[in-house]
A = this chain, B = another copy of it.
Amino acid sequence: MPSQQAIYLVSAPDQPGLVARLAGFFYSAGLNIVDAGNHTDPLAEGGPRFFMRLVVDLGGLSAPPAVAALGGSATRSALEARFAELCESLSARSSVRYSDQIPRVAILVTRDPACLYDLVLRQRAGDLPCEIPLILSNHPTLEGVAKSFEIPFYCLPVTPDTKPAQEKQLLDLCARHHVDLVVLARYMQILSEDFLSAAPPVINIHHGFLPAFQGARPYHQAHARGVKLVGATAHYATRDLDQGPIIEQDVARVDHTMGPDEMARLGRDVERVVLSRAVQAHLERRVIIEGRRTVVL
């Protein structure tokens, strides 16, 4: 049986010896670092900032070196307590997740199945390390898709009047299913600030163009303007609509022979790939949010 792993994400003001002290912490405890990546942003707000991701093999946790280093109690919580001390001395922020904690993802949809299929198929193929305990929607359209994958489906219609109550239901379902991440897979509703502040992290997919088109029917506007590219942006949802930290972006070429429908179809292809890549990066614990931007390690 392969041993468990811990994945650490650390962010700290840049200072000498950060890699050595973080790596040395695990080395002196006899724990092997199986993957590591770091980056220093010299232009971060508030001064140069250091980011690091460490994947640590916990196989040695019950061996003598770890027991000695952790003061006789070689448990995850003892390790966490000691690592917290180190981080405090570095003014670092950190988080940790263990490989036996499989993230639980709620997918919110409306009518369009493309992103939903892409996410579920990648999860089933083993590419997205998560469970999908439920699919939520404001429309019944995609119930059959959920059923074909044997995933519980909840249809919660919404009107302006019922929105607060419906969002309360969404939150309750997420809580009851211990959801760690909410993915808006073409969920055609704007979530309230109240929802976002109470919910787990939320990843959204947003189509986009150069130049940008706001308001209704963006593909018709883009066609009228003759753009040569359609794009999509996956970002964390924040109260500033479509302004949250960007995780992933991509584009596809279009030309004058394509009407708005074909542009929308190509746009959907980009959307689902971009959304799946962003969800994968989040689930693999590669994303650190820093202010309005992300570092994807």
| A→B interface (CB under 8 Å) | 16-21, 23-24, 26-28, 30, 32-43, 45, 113-114, 117, 121, 125, 127, 148, 208-212, 220, 223-229, 231, 233, 242-243, 245-246, 248-251, 255-257, 259-260, 265, 269, 273, 292-296
Contacts and interface: CB of A to CB of B under 8 A. Distances in A.
Given A33-B19, A121-B114, A251-B229, A293 B24 contact: no
Residue among A117, A212, A228, A255 facing the most chain B CB atoms (10 A cut-off): A228
B20 A224 contact: no
Given A212-B210, A250-B229, A224 B40 contact: no
A17 B54 CA distance: 13
Given A19-B27, A41-B256, 8 more contacts: A18-B33, A24-B27, A114-B121, A210-B210, A211-B243, A224-B293, A226-B292, A256-B294
Q: Kindly report how many copies of this chain are found in the complex they form together.
A: 4
Contacts of A256: 39, 41, 293-296
Contacts of A212: 210-212
Nearest to A127: B265
A1 to B, nearest CB: 18
Contact of A19 (B23, B39, B125): B23
B43 A223 contact: yes
A296 B257 CA distance: 9
Contact of A225 (B32, B225, B229, B293): B293
A70 B121 CA distance: 54
Contacts of A32: 16-17
B43 A35 contact: no
22 contacts: A16-B27, A19-B19, A19-B36, A20-B27, A20-B33, A21-B27, A35-B40, A43-B220, A113-B125, A125-B265, A208-B211, A210-B210, A211-B233, A225-B246, A226-B293, A226-B295, A228-B246, A229-B250, A231-B251, A251-B251, A255-B296, A269-B273
A208 B210 CA distance: 7
Contact of A117 (B30, B40, B117, B229): B117
Given A16-B32, A19-B36, A37-B37, A245 B229 contact: no
